[in-house]
Amino acid sequence: MKVAIFTGNYNHIRDGVSLTLNRLVGFLTEKGVDVLVFGPTIDKPEIQHTGEFVAVPSISMPGRPEYRISSAFPKDVQKRLELFDPDIIHIATPDYLGFRALKWATKKGTPVVSSYHTHFSSYLKYYKLSLIEPLLWKYLAWFYGKCTHVYVPSESMAKLLDEQNINSELKIWARGIETDRFSPSYRDYKWRTQHGVLDDELIITFVSRLVWEKNLKLFGDVVNKLQTSYPKLKALIVGDGPAMEEAKELMPKAVFTGFLEGNELAKAYASSDIFFFPSDTETFGNVTLEAMASGLPSVVADATGSRSLVNHGESGFVIPVESSDKFYTFIEKLINDDKLRMKMSASAIEKADEYSWSAVNNHLLSYYYEVLESKK
């Protein structure tokens, strides 16, 4: 089998999309699938990408220069695609490059599948563009309507897309976890001390790329309010991004570690006590799953991704994003109740154990074979 993947981000930014796709390409390659990835890049990418990658021309995204927007599908790139002669086109981003890939596949009679990684409509309010939401959904309905399958990370996201008249066959392609990498066993009191945390203090943690659409403002407001009543509550912010400096001003008492990976990231999770992730733009929530595997009760926004992971009242709390007072109330419960934190920790670990990357990506590979069988 030969699969061509088109994406708006594969190596230039380290985020959930790029990490998921790189992991998929590694898995497919191990299974004997030939993969060729097309997308924008920069001179010094943040990720050493997996597999063979073909760069396309791109421009900086207005207002967010760290992201790139594909701007052309030149003849030499088209020729490379024709020589590869894929059995399936997998489009991860319905942008200009994705549109051109769809047109190419339609002309050639090559099956097209797509995966839904970014909940685009939920981002619009952060850029004061809510008025164009109906047009966006109209385009997405047209685009995904041309695809044999659309792979979504959760049942809740499938339901939302169905409500928006996305009539393609929706298949669940969840996200996975390396349970040996994220575990409570990585809890490290020396690590806590090195970051200025005393043994009798509680750490409430946020892990993500630092951008405002992850609802950093709500995190900061709630934590600042909590710290007036609970001075032994420490805020830990793991990640980097364009909102870093403003976030430091918003949360002057917080510990900012910057970007972490490997054992340091595992220690950051496991050495914390509560995970607070109020982002309402998640299609899945990889960081929430990592926190759960690390034994943290999670307080999350009622977003399509998070609500499929966190069982309200069992492994954490799921709260409507507009109810900031409820975030305060439920986190306060966790601060004051050691037994509740322990009970939710056990439930979170049990839930996270249901996910593994090999099982998740095997499902996707089976979908590919299903598409090829239907073509015969």
User: Tokens in use for 231?
Assistant: 């001075």
201 and 347 within one domain: yes
pLDDT value of residue 104: 98
User: Tokens in use for 135?
Assistant: 């047009």
209 and 225 within one domain: yes
208 and 75 within one domain: no
* pLDDT mean over 91-114: 96
303 and 232 within one domain: yes
196 and 170 within one domain: no
274 or 304: which leads in pLDDT: 274
* pLDDT mean over 257-273: 96
Residues whose CB is less than 8 angstroms from the CB of residue 271 and which lie 6 or more positions away in sequence, other chains included? 186, 187, 188, 189, 191, 192, 197, 203
Residues of the domain holding 307: 184-352
231 and 170 within one domain: no
Q: Is the dihedral of CA 69, 74, 77, 81 positive or negative?
A: positive
Domain of residue 215, CATH code? 3.40.50.2000
199 and 171 within one domain: no
276 and 142 within one domain: no
- What does 187-255 look like in DSSP terms, one character per residue? --HHHHHHTT--TT-EEEEEES---GGG-HHHHHHHHHHHHHH-TTEEEEEE--STTHHHHHHH-TTSE
Q: Report how many domains make up the chain.
A: 2
Torsions phi, psi for 114 (to 5 deg) = -140, 160
Q: Is the dihedral of CA 90, 120, 45, 238 positive or negative?
A: negative
Residues 36-61 pLDDT 10s? 999 999 999 999 999 999 999 999 98
Q: Is the dihedral of CA 195, 199, 205, 208 positive or negative?
A: positive
Q: How far is CA 215 from the centre of its chain?
A: 14
67 or 254: which leads in pLDDT: 254
99 and 16 within one domain: yes
Neighbours of 68 (CB within 10 A): 23
Residues whose CB is less than 8 angstroms from the CB of residue 27 and which lie 6 or more positions away in sequence, other chains included? 357, 358, 361, 365
Is the pLDDT at 127 greater than 70? The verdict is no
CA 200/CA 212 separation, integer angstroms: 31
Residue 63 pLDDT grade (very low, low, confident, very high; cuts 50, 70, 90): confident
For tokens 């998070």, name the residue.
306
96 and 59 within one domain: yes
Q: Tell me the average pLDDT of the chain.
A: 92
Residue 307 pLDDT grade (very low, low, confident, very high; cuts 50, 70, 90): confident
Is the pLDDT at 162 greater than 70? The verdict is yes
Residues 274-283 pLDDT 10s? 999 999 877 6
Picking from 75-79, 146-150, 157-161, which range would have the lowest pLDDT averaged per residue?
157-161
Residues whose CB is less than 8 angstroms from the CB of residue 342 and which lie 6 or more positions away in sequence, other chains included? none
User: Tokens in use for 155?
Assistant: 């049942």
Is the pLDDT at 110 greater than 80? The verdict is yes
Residue 2 pLDDT grade (very low, low, confident, very high; cuts 50, 70, 90): very high
307 and 160 within one domain: no
Pairing of strands 58-61, 64-70: antiparallel
CA 21/CA 9 separation, integer angstroms: 9
Residues 186-220 pLDDT 10s? 999 999 999 999 999 999 999 999 999 899 999 99
The packing angle between helices 338-352 and 324-336, to 10°, is 110
User: Tokens in use for 238?
Assistant: 């793991």
161 and 51 within one domain: yes
